Structure 1
Amino acid sequence: MRVLVGGGTGFIGTALTQLLKARGHEVTLVSRKPGAGRITWDELATSGLPRCDAAVNLAGENILNPLRRWNEAFQKEVLSSRLETTQMLARAIAKAPQSPQVWVLVTGVAYYQPSLTAEYDEDSPGGDFDFFSNLVTKWEAAARLPGDSTRQVVVRSGILAHALEASHVQGVLNGVSPASSTTNAEFARALGAALGRPALIPLPSTVVQAVFGRERAVMLLEGQKVVPRRTLAAGYQYSFPELAAALKEVIA
């Protein structure tokens, strides 16, 4: 297929692009910056939708950017960056002589295990959680966030590819693994075991609140418990449904 990916230069978009190309699909990115294999959002608005069989929108301001204060202006920016890009794509699809067969929209706020991955940040594939991952790679210990009740979920690019390729998939799918209910304490122990090192460095909640503010800190300190019932029912096959096996693969 010819796939158009809005916000495709971020962490999830980069992984999705690599996966789609490996499966033989042709990918065009929509980004703020021009480049090879890309169009800009301005070009999309003025020239219309390029010919494509499927469209995905991953775009949106990084809600967990530690360099931005969580004030009213930034909250509006987070919201508008998602709404405006979605509206722009919707208008382009509506005006296109031949609409794509599939449109996948990633909505809401995704929570991640910070020591392995990152919140979406366009044009910065590594995201904003290098600090947390460095606790593992530089100090050789498994960093964990405080609170055994904390739960984080990981968005899988494979689920997005499945939604694009399987014609029977419709509606809302939770982009998480079956092990998404793992607490951070359990996650830290499993990561420490995969590294062959103990989980020695708890991160105080006061540090998280100081960096992100109380409202955003809740996303990291409490998280959400999400079960991918419809994703499994749609026939998606997880490569690593269990946490231990997934961590060993990532570390390797």
Structure 2
Amino acid sequence: MSRHFNYRSVVDASPLDVWDWHSRPGAFERLVPPWERIQLLSRSGSILTGDRAELKLSLGPFSLRWLAEHLDSERGRGFTDRQVRGPFAHWTHRHIFEPEDADRCRLSDAIEYGLRGGPIADALAGWAVEPKLRQTFAYRHRITAGDLGVHGRYFPDGPRRFLITGSTGLVGSSLVAFLSAGGHTVTRLVRGQSHGPDTSGAATAQWDPAQGLLDAESVSGQDVVVHLAGAGIADGRWTPARKRVIRDSRVTGTELLARAVAEAPEKPRVLVCASATGFYGDRGDMELDEGSAGGSGFLADVAREWERASSAAEKAGIRVVHLRFGVVLTPSGGALSRMLPAFRAGIGGPLGDGRQYWSWIGLDDLLAAVVHVSASADLSGPVNAVSPRAPSNAEFTRTLGGVLRRPAIMRVPGAALRLLLGEMGDELLLASTRVRPAKLIASGFEYRYGELESALRHGLGRATEVSR
């Protein structure tokens, strides 16, 4: 039996712009909800008739392959993808782009599908499949509209050339997809050979920070260099050896890249370097902005050295921005992904006394902030990449529990965290850093998800909007 699903929304972009965005590398990755485990294994072409894509869908310990073929493609009007092989008995998805008025497009997704298994499967479709489709396509439409809005706001004179380090990490891989789908030219600066398929569509250049190897020609001609590379700060207990890796991976790589930028025959316009709100240390209730002094502790010391390491680029007259990241919220990785199992099981709760402030930013807003600081010629030096208001840990955990419809009252004693994690527990989980994004706000940055609840609902598939 065939079932039908439809979702519609209006996007502030022309049908041709919406088509172009869908046709570029990175659009698929942007459209995959972060709560789903879907991997693009390979693709031939784009969304033109006859082009194909193979996906891997993971469901718990199981995985499925899905081979899709595109047909009925017409630029500026729409395209269809049809399941050739996959989990459904049949699946046909028509993407339709219709002019709403002079500057807007009605985006429609029309799906006809069937499940294997007869009447039982049909009942399952109404109970489980269609609610999941509604959340998935609500997310896809928010991403499409939001990303097109950001790309339409910046660089009106044309796309830019971006060079990105740390492009396989949580933020870097998302940034490559975001920029590529927006029409920019992206080059990934990578160490060694790629492991596994690379479907990003981005060019690559080689470097080796440990050996001091980077050809200045690799950065020559780039408009923007975004430096995100660095060992994960929460990937292992902070032994002396691990702390050296965390420090050296940031400082040594930044020094090498800054020298190459300074010596490039055709210098980039701006170097955007990742930093962290750990710069401010544990400061209690004090509200902090970019003019506040640094704090004490391992992370504060690393951040100071990290930011100083770009001095060669600054001396060469290149605009340098130190984007101080707060906790990046996405279920795809980082702090939120580690918290979710306990909270979904109803055994989550505040850490320590819960009074410590957590400064955070949604992943989509962080990607937009990178573009904003790249395009804003009057921004330089430290820029706090955080939401407008930092909640206490107690408020954060209470809000997360509410979004998941689970209790969040199982407090974790601070002493237990210190015993389990040592210094890392103190600085990452129990330290209080109440940071305000003064420079982003003053320069007109527009948040998509500046409130904690809306950011969590968006990223966890718990938003409540309806098709229109």
**TM-score, normalization: structure 2?**
0.47
**5 Å matches for 1:92-131?**
92-108=260-276, 109=278, 110-112=325-327, 116-117=329-330, 126-127=333-334, 130-131=337-338
Q: Is the 8 A contact 2:350 2:397 kept in 1?
A: yes
Q: 1:201 to 1:41 in 2, by over 3 A?
A: farther
In structure 2, C-alpha distance between the alignment counterparts of 1:55 and 1:3, rounded to whole Å: 6
Which residue identity does 1:112 align to in structure 2?
V
Gaps of 5+ in 1: 119-124
Q: Is the 8 A contact 2:353 2:413 kept in 1?
A: no
Gaps of 5+ in 2: 1-159, 279-324, 462-468
Q: Which runs of 4+ in 1 moved over 4 A?
A: 127-130, 140-143
Corresponding residue for residue 122 of structure 1:
none
Corresponding residue for residue 30 of structure 1:
189
Corresponding residue for residue 115 of structure 2:
none
Q: Is the 8 A contact 1:64 1:216 kept in 2?
A: no
- Aligned partner (choices 212, 231, 251) of residue 61 of structure 1: 231
What SS class does the counterpart of residue 200 from structure 1 fall into?
coil
Corresponding residue for residue 172 of structure 2:
13
Give how far 1:31 is off: 2.8
Please state if 1:228 is matched with 2:437: yes
Which residue identity does 2:163 align to in structure 1?
L
Q: 1:9 to 1:193 in 2, by over 3 A?
A: same
- Aligned partner (choices 199, 206, 218) of residue 40 of structure 1: 206
In structure 2, C-alpha distance between the alignment counterparts of 1:203 and 1:31, rounded to whole Å: 39
In structure 2, C-alpha distance between the alignment counterparts of 1:184 and 1:229, rounded to whole Å: 22
**5 Å matches for 1:58-97?**
58-65=228-235, 67-68=236-237, 70-97=238-265
Corresponding residue for residue 134 of structure 1:
341
**TM-score, normalization: structure 1?**
0.83
RMSD over equivalenced CA pairs, Å = 2.6
Q: Is the 8 A contact 1:141 1:192 kept in 2?
A: no
What SS class does the counterpart of residue 333 from structure 2 fall into?
coil
What SS class does the counterpart of residue 454 from structure 2 fall into?
helix
In structure 2, C-alpha distance between the alignment counterparts of 1:63 and 1:223, rounded to whole Å: 17
**5 Å matches for 1:204-223?**
204-214=413-423, 216-223=425-432
Q: 1:47 to 1:222 in 2, by over 3 A?
A: closer
In structure 2, C-alpha distance between the alignment counterparts of 1:130 and 1:247, rounded to whole Å: 12
Q: Whose strand proportion is higher, 1 or 2? A: 2
Q: 1:31 to 1:56 in 2, by over 3 A?
A: same
Structure ID, larger Rg: 2
What SS class does the counterpart of residue 174 from structure 1 fall into?
strand
Of residues 217-226 and 227-236 in structure 1, the stretch that sits farther from structure 2 once superposed is: 217-226
**5 Å matches for 1:190-209?**
190-209=399-418
In structure 2, C-alpha distance between the alignment counterparts of 1:173 and 1:200, rounded to whole Å: 35
In structure 2, C-alpha distance between the alignment counterparts of 1:245 and 1:130, rounded to whole Å: 17
Corresponding residue for residue 172 of structure 1:
382
Corresponding residue for residue 222 of structure 2:
52
**5 Å matches for 1:241-252?**
241-252=450-461
* Cα displacement string for residues 96-125 of structure 1 (whole angstroms, at most 9, x for unaligned residues): 110111111112445527xx448xxxxxx7
Corresponding residue for residue 356 of structure 2:
150
Give how far 1:197 is off: 2.2
Higher relative contact order (CA 8 A, sep 6+): 1
- Aligned partner (choices 344, 361, 373) of residue 163 of structure 1: 373
In structure 2, C-alpha distance between the alignment counterparts of 1:102 and 1:142, rounded to whole Å: 42
Aligned residues: percent identity? Answer: 30
